Chain A
């Protein structure tokens, strides 16, 4: 679609871009071989479990027919359907996801950004036979890493790609933020204001604070607090920055929240937006 931009984005990126008629460029985070392997192995387990339970269940139901070979025939057909139809069935039914892909937040979509249908799911799963050549998906792996959209052979023929779907981080107040007294605005030298990016990194870290071991949290937080504490020279709170870096970061965030509150009260509402005066999207290099 947008050739020159695609070319410039080819600097080892895990994203692929698509320009839509509304004149914005969409970014898709591609799923790497590692995540996809994880999803594949999980699906293999689910497949095995389904086969096991179906066969156990059916062999009880069909016990009177055991001598006719009917249960064995049913087993072969179920095994066949699971081998070739498992992925196709779930990807059609669950809009591009299998249980494994769902667990890893992956989804198969068309390269045009649409949902896939039955035929796409069928093609990409039948062509696993070609991806598997010569051993354990070697051909598929090679094709994927040589392809800017990380498509294996089945994806190439079906016109699909596997993308990562992030659970929205945005939304919801950071818990416990109001417990911390904000640094007063004059605490920062020259009325320094941390950038949105920095604040976001801080918020991201604090949201994960219960997932990290405390010592590790402090270690990472120190990287952030050191340069920030220098800006707080007048307030001379380096001790807090050194000893309780997480608390320090909370107070920085709280300070920002407080300054936004006052700014809102001072500024009048902005003028209505003009729909036609749309900015052109920024070049790919600026994305994160």
Chain B
């Protein structure tokens, strides 16, 4: 058989395969009928044989490339199931995400320590000796902070929605970076957690020491629950990545990264959802001119909600 007669003989079934393939690849539900599936399988095996034959006879690399690409697409359509994310968003947020977090609680506690300890420590230290704040943050930043919290919350025309949108973008970007930088053996994540903890603690200690405590706490307490815990969750996600490289266990590092990376990105997505809620609270609620008592009551309820969500969400009676 020479190349020309080979093409003439086999060409029609390649084209038939292509048309089946196009339908198999198209998004949507009913893709191939059952008899078409068995025809697909048959054509696919014959196609693989054709490819091997073209290679062994060294007939034309463009023909080889064409067949190779067809087999690649056929392989993907035949073996690679396409998981559908649609309709799973709600169940992921309601159950999947808190479950994932509890499965990896060790990383959560580690991230909480890396973030919470410097936050509390710098808060206490700067609260006692406010001049130390200048070692952490530049004077202009401190001045802006002090300025911001020395004014009363504005009445009437505020830019609530603009602030909410800004927080969505700004905070979630930090959380995603915190997660992604975990690839560098976790060092990037540890750095983000430590530095954010120190800066937040410093600002809190400094602003309260300047006598603006009531307004400061009134502003931050509402969204603190969702925002702080989301940062910790994204930190946990980053630490999982770093851990996969440092201690891959019985897997190769590449395999461990792939397996743990899936878990980590789920946590990062959960953190993003939490930050969206936090941004809405921060934009629309935190700046409301209301007494501290009401605000701290709401804040307490929100803390209970978040902790209950992360701690109990997705628990079922069935023991599996």
Contacts and interface: CB of A to CB of B under 8 A. Distances in A.
Contacts of B80: 110, 112-115
Interface string B102-146: 000000000000000000000000000000000000000000000
B163 interface: yes
A112 B45 CA distance: 18
Given A73-B164, A128-B180, A279 B52 contact: yes
Interface in A120-135: 122-123, 126-130, 133
Contact of B169 (A79, A126, A158): A79
A157 B258 contact: yes
B243 to A, nearest CB: 13
A69 B283 CA distance: 11
Interface in B37-79: 44-46, 48-49, 51-53, 55-56, 58-66, 68-69, 71-72, 75-77, 79
Contact of A76 (B59, B76, B166): B166
Interface stretch (A196-204, A226-234, A246-254): A196-204
Contact of B66 (A21, A67, A122, A171): A171
B169 A80 contact: yes
A14 B5 CA distance: 32
Contacts of B19: none
A208 interface: no
14 contacts: A69-B161, A73-B166, A73-B283, A76-B162, A80-B165, A84-B172, A110-B80, A115-B82, A127-B180, A127-B183, A133-B188, A196-B60, A279-B56, A282-B55
Given A28-B72, A166-B69, A263-B2, 20 more contacts: A20-B48, A22-B44, A22-B71, A24-B51, A26-B75, A72-B159, A72-B162, A73-B160, A113-B75, A113-B76, A117-B82, A119-B83, A130-B181, A133-B184, A170-B63, A200-B60, A264-B2, A275-B45, A275-B46, A288-B64
Interface of B: 1-5, 25, 44-46, 48-49, 51-53, 55-56, 58-66, 68-69, 71-72, 75-77, 79-80, 82-83, 85, 157-166, 168-169, 172-173, 176-177, 179-184, 188, 241, 254, 257-258, 261-262, 265-266, 268-269, 283
